[in-house]
Amino acid sequence: MSHAPIIEVQHLSKTVTDAGGSALTILHDIDFAVQPGQTLAIVGASGSGKSTLLSLIAGLDTPSSGTVRWSGTDIFALDEDARAALRGQRVGFVFQSFQLLANLTALENVMLPLELAGRRDARDAARRMLERVGLAERLGHYPRVLSGGEQQRVALARAFVVQPAVLLADEPTGSLDHATGARVMELMFELNREQGTTLVLVTHDAAIAARCQRRLLIEAGRAREWSEWTEADA
């Protein structure tokens, strides 16, 4: 039985004006769909527009033409407040730079999206998720005293605690050493399987890309499916 796509990217283009006043096309006529529960890696050379595409999928940036639909809803037909509300309900984020709030403890960082959603069990749910990622002893620690791997595990806990329909990850191991990054990615894929989340991630890592069901290669602002992506394509 077929299912409706959870994400539809339809003829998406992004053009900006460079320092000299000339038009620069970053993305051109990108068109693809992602089914519920799929894992998709967006890969390509540095500066190819991968992160721009992820920002457009998230509705954090606006396209020059085309649109993105989440479960049939045209997100760019909504105003910024409505898009933000929809993101809060459906999307989790993991960034290379962790994006933790420095003045909040690990527990408070994970509680935040739950509190914003009005969840009365925010503290208990956040505690359980931090225990799940192996940080039961670090609940009261601030980001500045956590290692990079620990900070990214807090970020994973924060992303997954709301049980998002979609997780968007932008180079989630980019700030970590290889061994730590491998452990973090293993945890991310475990959590993704447990929750049945749709995962879309930007990565330069061939091993990470190979673990995803699909790979989308961005070249010269265009996208195509790529079945045998290697490190040489990054």
Give the CATH number of the domain where residue 20 resides: 3.40.50.300
Q: Does 1 fall in a domain?
A: no
In 3-state terms, what secondary structure has residue 190? Answer: helix
98-154 confidence digits (pLDDT tens): 899 999 999 999 999 999 888 999 999 999 999 999 999 999 999 999 999 999 999
Q: Does residue 41 carry a pLDDT above 60?
A: yes
**Alpha-carbon span 25 to 66, nearest angstrom:** 14
Q: Is the pLDDT higher at 215 or at 229?
A: 215
C-alpha torsion 184→138→196→4, nearest 10: -90
Phi and psi, residue 165, nearest 5°: -70, -35
Per-residue pLDDT, averaged over 21-28, amounts to 90
74 falls within a domain: yes
Rounded Cα distance, 56 and 47, in Å? 15
Strands 222-225 and 214-219: antiparallel
What local confidence, expressed as pLDDT, does residue 228 receive? 56
Q: What is the pLDDT of residues 162-184, one digit of tens each?
A: 999 999 999 888 888 888 888 88
Residue 174 lies inside a defined structural domain of this protein: yes
In a domain, 234, yes or no: no
Instruction: Give yes or no for residue 233 having a pLDDT over 70.
Output: no
* Total tally of structural domains belonging to the chain: 1
Q: Across-strand partners of 43?
A: 217
Percent of all residues in the chain with a pLDDT value above 90, rounded to a whole number: 65
Token representation of residue 101: 């709030």
Over the chain, what is the mean pLDDT? 90
Does position 67 have pLDDT exceeding 90, yes or no? yes
106 near 135, Cβ under 8 Å? yes
Query: Which pLDDT does position 1 carry in this prediction?
Result: 40
Q: Which range marks the domain in which residue 162 is found?
A: 7-224
Contacts of residue 126, Cβ cutoff 8 Å, sequence gap at least 6: 107, 110, 111, 114, 157, 161
Whether residue 232 is contained in a domain is answered as: no
pLDDT at 48: 87
The answer to whether residue 128 sits within a structural domain is yes
Angle between helices 106-116 and 148-160 (to 10 degrees): 20
Q: What is the mean pLDDT of residues 210-229?
A: 86
Does 230 fall in a domain? no
- Is the pLDDT reported for residue 82 higher than 50? yes
233 lies in a domain? Answer: no
Q: How far apart, in whole angstroms, are the C-alpha atoms of residue 174 and residue 172?
A: 6
pLDDT at 95 over 60: yes
> What average pLDDT does the segment 43-66 reach?
92
Quick one: pLDDT at residue 113?
92
Question: With contact defined as beta carbons under 8 Å apart, do 106 and 117 qualify?
Answer: no
